[in-house]
Chain A
């Protein structure tokens, strides 16, 4: 029988050891569970090396599967200055071969380091020449570099690859910018665990596999792009213009066949150009469209049933007064009782005021929305902008009047061509797009289909408007430059540029928008010239460019003459 005192002492000892055990348990719980993850990461960071495996950036192909943006091999030249002898002589030789200042090489070689970079993006030919010198203490590291074989072709549309704040490759502007995540893929990592002495533990090798970037195929036809670019560039020089844009769109699908703007830049050496040139004016700059806008307003009037081609304008015999303002025609010529057909043919501003009054602000705004004005088109390019249409309450009679002939209202060139394309396409507004296919890293192809946004006007109204535009080309101011064998539907535009609250009549944006062949349109196109010097008029500058490109496209597509 155990005495009470012994039992009591035994109990105390048991409780004491139990408490100790509990304390240890709690402490273990704290280190292994609560702070376990943190300590594991610290341990890994101390004992683990990681090697980044770069992913290959996806290619950008034109419609004919030509890589307009791809990757090429180049080399980084490095040196170990600590083992290099005759540094001055080496610097001189390398400077001559690599065409870089001798001082920059000397500065790197004078550093007391084991590894210094001397130059990068060295092509293979120069690498061979340097290797033949057999200089001990220098070596090459292979690099992958973005390569644009067509140089500055479609520069604004393609964009370029620069560096982000972490020094990693990143696409800017155009396709490179919009699809940067898709094209980049994801780099891989190899983790190597080392023991306490720094030796690799071979069996413990973890790897995060890299995912190469996906490639994209564009709707851009290289030939049409080349033609448009060349014609535009030559004409800008000929007319002494500040710049210009040309956009060609496949009528039935909304695919962009060509998009060119000047001034432009070289995508390979973008850093040598002013950053302002990176901005694509076709989607990122607003302008007042002038008379080309009349096509949308007249189509709206016809669709709303407020005017017909033979409706007579009873306010067109002279300038139209609106408050303190007076709306005049571009050439101060007036035709009393002019028909709507003639309003478009003569580009009569007073006739358009007549149509605007018939429509009213509410209807006008409704139709502008249906044509996509005041909202982004949604094209897959980085940097698209839009103006915002004021609400109905904020429109004065003068605003309604000037908007009908494309002044006092602004949009991007892409928005205008997209609206006119709806007329060419039986009234259906398409979503413009550029990427037609995505090629996954496994080679699977994802097709991007055309998308109809909405019905802008009825098929009948679109047909009638097309005929008015054909008549404008046949008999209007640009008839001297029309194509002999093809019927083209089009409209000239000569928009004065607003400067400091007033319009300068000597500075214009001359444009021509249209589609061809008129009977069954394949291509809708807009040509826009900024501040031409030889002539301010669209009929004398933008129209000839339009028709020269159109002729080349019709020949390229082997489209038989329609008359």
Chain B
């Protein structure tokens, strides 16, 4: 009888301890789940912004946009090609 009751008490304590561990771990996981959900939401939000900004960048780089801006800013077409470098000297007078 004594052995049976001692075994029962022991098992009860083990159950309590395990239950405590279970509650602690569940709480920890749920907090992590909340963080994971927030991060996932942030990722989606940033992906959406990234896609929108990509479209803006692509449009800015279009020749159609650049030529319109250039015309607006007063740039004109050169009549002749412009050279930035003066001709190289290939022979010098001694």
A-B interaction: yes
Which residues of chain B have a CB within 8 Å of any CB of chain A? Answer: 48, 51-52, 54-55, 58-59, 61-65, 67, 81
In the complex, which residues of chain B have a beta carbon less than 8 angstroms from the beta carbon of A226? 63, 67
In the complex, which residues of chain B have a beta carbon less than 8 angstroms from the beta carbon of A73? 48, 51-52, 55
Q: Say which residue of A66, A72, A223 sits within 8 Å of B61 (CB atoms).
A: A66
A142/B48 contact (C-beta < 8 A), A147-B55, A150-B63 known: yes
Bound: A259/B62 CA distance, A: 18
**10 examples of A-B residue contacts, CB within 8 angstroms:** A66-B62, A67-B58, A73-B48, A73-B51, A149-B55, A150-B64, A153-B63, A222-B63, A226-B63, A226-B67
Q: Which of A66, A142, A150 neighbours the largest number of chain B CB atoms within 10 Å of its CB?
A: A150
Give A507-529 interface residues, CB cut-off 8 Å to B.
Answer: none
Instruction: Assess whether A70 is in contact with B58, with CB atoms less than 8 Å apart.
Output: yes
Q: Is the CB of A10 closer than 8 A to any CB of chain B?
A: no
Bound: A149/B54 CA distance, A: 11
Which residues of chain A have a CB within 8 Å of any CB of chain B? Answer: 66-67, 70, 72-73, 124, 142, 147, 149-151, 153, 222-223, 226, 230, 555
| Min C-beta distance of B82 to chain A, whole Å | 10
Instruction: Assess whether A149 is in contact with B58, with CB atoms less than 8 Å apart.
Output: yes
Bound: A67/B55 CA distance, A: 10
A-B pairs, top 4 by smallest CB distance, nearest first, are: A72-B55, A149-B62, A226-B63, A149-B58
Main secondary structure of the interface of A (DSSP, over half): mixed
Q: Which of chain B's residues has its CB closest to A153's CB? A: B64
| Min C-beta distance of B48 to chain A, whole Å | 6
Q: Say which residue of A124, A149, A153, A222 sits within 8 Å of B59 (CB atoms).
A: A149
Q: Which of chain A's residues has its CB closest to B58's CB? A: A149
Q: Which of B48, B63, B67 neighbours the largest number of chain A CB atoms within 10 Å of its CB?
A: B63
| Min C-beta distance of B22 to chain A, whole Å | 23
Q: Which of chain B's residues has its CB closest to A142's CB? A: B48
| Min C-beta distance of A75 to chain B, whole Å | 10
Q: Which of chain A's residues has its CB closest to B53's CB? A: A124
In the complex, which residues of chain A have a beta carbon less than 8 angstroms from the beta carbon of B65? 149
Bound: A223/B67 CA distance, A: 11
Bound: A67/B59 CA distance, A: 10
Number of A-B contacts (CB under 8 A): 38
In the complex, which residues of chain B have a beta carbon less than 8 angstroms from the beta carbon of A153? 63-64
In the complex, which residues of chain B have a beta carbon less than 8 angstroms from the beta carbon of A124? 52
In the complex, which residues of chain B have a beta carbon less than 8 angstroms from the beta carbon of A67? 58
In the complex, which residues of chain B have a beta carbon less than 8 angstroms from the beta carbon of A149? 55, 58-59, 61-62, 64-65
| Min C-beta distance of B79 to chain A, whole Å | 11
In the complex, which residues of chain A have a beta carbon less than 8 angstroms from the beta carbon of B61? 66, 149
In the complex, which residues of chain B have a beta carbon less than 8 angstroms from the beta carbon of A555? 81
Bound: A67/B58 CA distance, A: 8
Bound: A76/B67 CA distance, A: 32
Given A72-B51, A147-B58, A149-B64; 18 other pairs, CB 8 A cutoff: A66-B58, A66-B61, A70-B58, A73-B51, A73-B55, A142-B48, A147-B55, A149-B55, A149-B58, A149-B62, A149-B65, A151-B62, A153-B63, A153-B64, A222-B63, A226-B63, A226-B67, A555-B81
In the complex, which residues of chain B have a beta carbon less than 8 angstroms from the beta carbon of A150? 62-64
Bound: A66/B55 CA distance, A: 12
| Min C-beta distance of B84 to chain A, whole Å | 13
In the complex, which residues of chain A have a beta carbon less than 8 angstroms from the beta carbon of B64? 149-151, 153
In the complex, which residues of chain A have a beta carbon less than 8 angstroms from the beta carbon of B51? 72-73
Bound: A147/B55 CA distance, A: 8
In the complex, which residues of chain B have a beta carbon less than 8 angstroms from the beta carbon of A70? 55, 58
Bound: A66/B81 CA distance, A: 26
In the complex, which residues of chain A have a beta carbon less than 8 angstroms from the beta carbon of B48? 73, 142
| Min C-beta distance of A124 to chain B, whole Å | 5
In the complex, which residues of chain B have a beta carbon less than 8 angstroms from the beta carbon of A222? 63
Bound: A70/B56 CA distance, A: 12
| Min C-beta distance of B45 to chain A, whole Å | 11
Bound: A112/B31 CA distance, A: 42
| Min C-beta distance of B73 to chain A, whole Å | 18
Bound: A273/B82 CA distance, A: 40
Bound: A238/B54 CA distance, A: 38
Q: Which of chain B's residues has its CB closest to A555's CB? A: B81
Bound: A559/B54 CA distance, A: 35
Bound: A72/B51 CA distance, A: 7
| Min C-beta distance of A55 to chain B, whole Å | 16
In the complex, which residues of chain A have a beta carbon less than 8 angstroms from the beta carbon of B81? 555
Bound: A222/B61 CA distance, A: 11
| Min C-beta distance of B68 to chain A, whole Å | 10
| Min C-beta distance of A18 to chain B, whole Å | 59
Instruction: Assess whether A223 is in contact with B63, with CB atoms less than 8 Å apart.
Output: yes
Bound: A223/B61 CA distance, A: 12
In the complex, which residues of chain A have a beta carbon less than 8 angstroms from the beta carbon of B67? 226, 230
Bound: A230/B59 CA distance, A: 19
Q: Which of chain B's residues has its CB closest to A67's CB? A: B58
Q: Which of A67, A149, A555 neighbours the largest number of chain B CB atoms within 10 Å of its CB?
A: A149
Bound: A353/B9 CA distance, A: 119
Bound: A223/B64 CA distance, A: 11
Bound: A66/B64 CA distance, A: 13
Bound: A468/B48 CA distance, A: 60
| Min C-beta distance of B78 to chain A, whole Å | 10
Bound: A528/B31 CA distance, A: 71
Bound: A66/B63 CA distance, A: 10
| Min C-beta distance of B31 to chain A, whole Å | 24
Bound: A153/B61 CA distance, A: 14
Bound: A366/B87 CA distance, A: 53
Bound: A30/B19 CA distance, A: 55
Bound: A301/B63 CA distance, A: 45
Bound: A73/B59 CA distance, A: 14
Q: Which of chain A's residues has its CB closest to B63's CB? A: A226
Bound: A162/B65 CA distance, A: 25
Bound: A70/B55 CA distance, A: 9
Bound: A142/B61 CA distance, A: 25
Bound: A555/B81 CA distance, A: 8
